[in-house]
């Protein structure tokens, strides 16, 4: 695998990774994968099949029933479980509430990282998550780490929920984001942190186009 086939974008929840990653992928004609959706898919599976999230063995066996499908010539992908498209269900607040239990399980993370690497090795891809540059594809030549204040991130997530008809107070959204930050940064397995060679971008006062432009400029410099 050539190093410049993979671009890693990491950062905390609601820092803009997915939106920015998709726009960058369109600009440079790469595939796109939000690895967080994998952890959400396993969480959905656990809730749907009534599997205890702490039953690691059963969850790992069940992961084989999940299929991740890329849509050709686009930045879209589809997650299927038992031949059923579950993609639209994975942003549900119930999933949001329980996903941290799955995400902190070292054996589940290890299993999903294997899948993520297989995807990375077979595609020109922009991959976003929390440990892409440090664990999943540490040899990626281009790595970015997005940061933003918890207030700005809560505003973004609150607006996103309102658009989709999900009614949660701003205070609850902000509290859940801060709780997720604590879990992500303090977990023993693959804690959230920038890779030593990541380029840090603060998105608080930048729009999507500005962030994408800065990334493209740095990708060109790094090549």
| pLDDT of res. 64 | 83
Tokens 């050539």 label which residue? 2
pLDDT per residue over 112-135, tens digit each?
A: 999 999 888 877 889 999 999 999
In terms of phi and psi (left: phi > 0; alpha: psi -120 to 50; beta: otherwise), the region of 50 is left
pLDDT value, residue 149? 96
Question: Domain extents for the chain?
Answer: 3-218
Q: How far apart are CA 126 and CA 31, in angstroms?
A: 6
Query: How many H-runs (helices) and E-runs (strands) does the chain carry?
Result: 8, 8
**Burial class of residue 47, CB neighbours in 10 A (0-12, 13-18, 19+):** middle
Q: Could you tell me if residue 11 is left (phi over 0), alpha (psi between -120 and 50 degrees) or otherwise beta? A: left
Topology annotation, domain 3-218: Rossmann fold (3.40.50)
Q: Count CB-CB contacts under 10 A for residue 74.
A: 12
Q: What is the pLDDT along the chain (223 residues), one digit of tens a residue?
A: 444 488 999 999 999 999 999 999 999 989 899 999 999 999 999 999 999 988 999 999 988 888 888 765 567 788 998 889 999 899 888 898 888 889 889 999 999 999 999 888 877 889 999 999 999 999 998 999 999 999 999 999 999 888 888 889 999 999 999 998 998 999 888 899 999 999 999 999 999 999 999 999 998 655 4
């Amino acid at each position: 695998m050539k190093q410049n086939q993979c671009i890693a974008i990491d950062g905390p929840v609601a820092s803009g990774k997915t939106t920015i990653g998709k726009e960058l992928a369109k600009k440079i004609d790469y595939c796109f994968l939000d690895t967080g959706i994998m952890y959400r898919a396993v969480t959905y599976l656990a809730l749907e099949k009534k599997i205890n999230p702490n039953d690691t063995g059963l969850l790992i066996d069940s992961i084989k029933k999940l299929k991740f499908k890329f849509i050709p010539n686009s930045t879209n992908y589809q997650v299927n479980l038992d031949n059923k498209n579950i993609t639209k269900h994975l942003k549900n607040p119930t999933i949001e509430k329980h996903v941290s239990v799955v995400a902190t399980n070292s054996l589940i993370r290890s299993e999903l990282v294997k899948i993520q690497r297989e995807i990375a090795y077979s595609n020109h891809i922009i991959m976003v998550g929390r440990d892409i540059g440090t664990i999943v594809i540490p040899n990626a030549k281009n790595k970015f780490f997005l940061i933003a204040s918890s207030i700005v991130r809560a505003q973004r997530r609150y607006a996103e929920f309102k658009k989709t008809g999900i009614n949660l107070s701003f205070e609850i959204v902000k509290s859940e984001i801060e709780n997720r930050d604590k879990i992500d940064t303090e977990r023993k397995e693959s804690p959230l942190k920038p890779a030593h060679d990541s380029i840090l971008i603060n998105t608080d006062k930048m729009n999507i186009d500005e962030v994408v432009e800065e990334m493209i400029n740095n990708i060109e410099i790094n090549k």
